Structure 1
Amino acid sequence: MRRVLVVDDDQDMRDLIGLMLRRAGYTTVAVESPFLALDVATTEAFDVAVLDWSMPGMNGGELCTRMRESPDIPDTPIMILTAHADQETRDRAFASGADRFMTKPFTLAELSGAVAALIGSRT
């Protein structure tokens, strides 16, 4: 079963994303902190990482950059999932190394389709 790392400081959003992805057939590990995400991502393998943009201490772009720079994390596809729909945030997300950018709100079909496409792009 494919594994997805979900990083969002909002408990309700972590629960919603995790539920949606589990319904689509994925195994999820959800964490509330970008710092915890770095620890988890260096000790466990994931097929995709879904990162929120706005988090305390480190935003999703900074986390994405750190994941891309880490020799301990393989070339995991990364999607930024955020309420920020502006072009500047989108540009910053891709500049940080994100493979995909999706805005909230989203549907189960959109989320599971994006995750499936990211997994398919690496196989």
Structure 2
Amino acid sequence: MSDQPSSRSPASPAPRGGKPTTDPQVDEAGGPVSAAPLSRSPLSASPGAAASAPVLVIDDSEIAREEVSRVLRSAGYQVVALPSPIGATQAIVRHQARIVVVDIFMPTIRGDRLLTLFRKNQRLGHLSVILMSGHSEQELEQLQLEVQADAVLSKRHLDRLPALIKRLTGKDR
């Protein structure tokens, strides 16, 4: 069992967000589209931060969502946070996000299923997706292989998230 966050190698196979409003439209990934109010966290003036596009954070737990956002803002990243996957495609397109950090276990749709929908959508093929959970690193690494996530991270190691994002933004999908 590795204590490091895991990321897929290039050779491998493949605020406090308000409640989004429900829109009966369906996006290209098959998920609902929403005109959800999005909070944009201010960009810190951290030198050298690769924050031209915000990181989208999706977690149904307000506490976890705020903690992930805080860690990323402290590292100089701009953050868009959603309390559910509803409206994720719209947020990605609107804010030109290239990294999505998504909780695996959410009531509306599991994060790994959302990743599968992203991978099937041509407009979202550029995304790097980090699956996050409180489960063990070993369980997360197995899931990473199954769904071809770019990386996985235990919520116990959020301090590793900025370095993981920096690694992912240094490679093209």
Scaled by the length of structure 1, the TM-score of the pair is 0.87
Identity, in percent, stands at 27
What do residues 62-91 of structure 1 show as CA deviations (whole Å, max 9, x unaligned)? Answer: 011111111221321111111121645432
For residues 113 and 56 of structure 1, do their structure 2 counterparts lie closer, same or farther at Cα, with a shift above 3 Å needed? same
Q: CA RMSD in A?
A: 1.9
Q: Which has the larger radius of gyration?
A: 2
Question: Which residue pairs with 1:55 in the alignment?
Answer: 106
In the TM superposition, residue 93 of structure 1 has moved relative to its aligned partner by 3.3
In the TM superposition, residue 57 of structure 1 has moved relative to its aligned partner by 1.9
Alpha carbons 1:68, 1:97 under 8 Å: kept = no
Tell me, in whole angstroms, the C-alpha distance in 1 between the residues paired with 2:104 and 2:156: 14
Question: Which residue pairs with 2:72 in the alignment?
Answer: 21
Question: Which residue pairs with 2:171 in the alignment?
Answer: 121
Tell whether 2:85 aligns with 1:34. Answer: yes
Q: Which runs of 5+ in 1 are unaligned?
A: none
TM superposition outliers: structure 1 runs of 4+ over 6 Å: none
Structure richer in helix, relative to its length: 1
Q: Which runs of 5+ in 2 are unaligned?
A: 1-50
Tell me, in whole angstroms, the C-alpha distance in 2 between the residues paired with 1:8 and 1:71: 24
SS of the counterpart of 1:79? Answer: strand
In the alignment of these two chains, the number of paired residues is 122
What do residues 67-121 of structure 1 show as CA deviations (whole Å, max 9, x unaligned)? Answer: 111122132111111112164543233322311111121142x111111111112
For residues 61 and 21 of structure 1, do their structure 2 counterparts lie closer, same or farther at Cα, with a shift above 3 Å needed? same
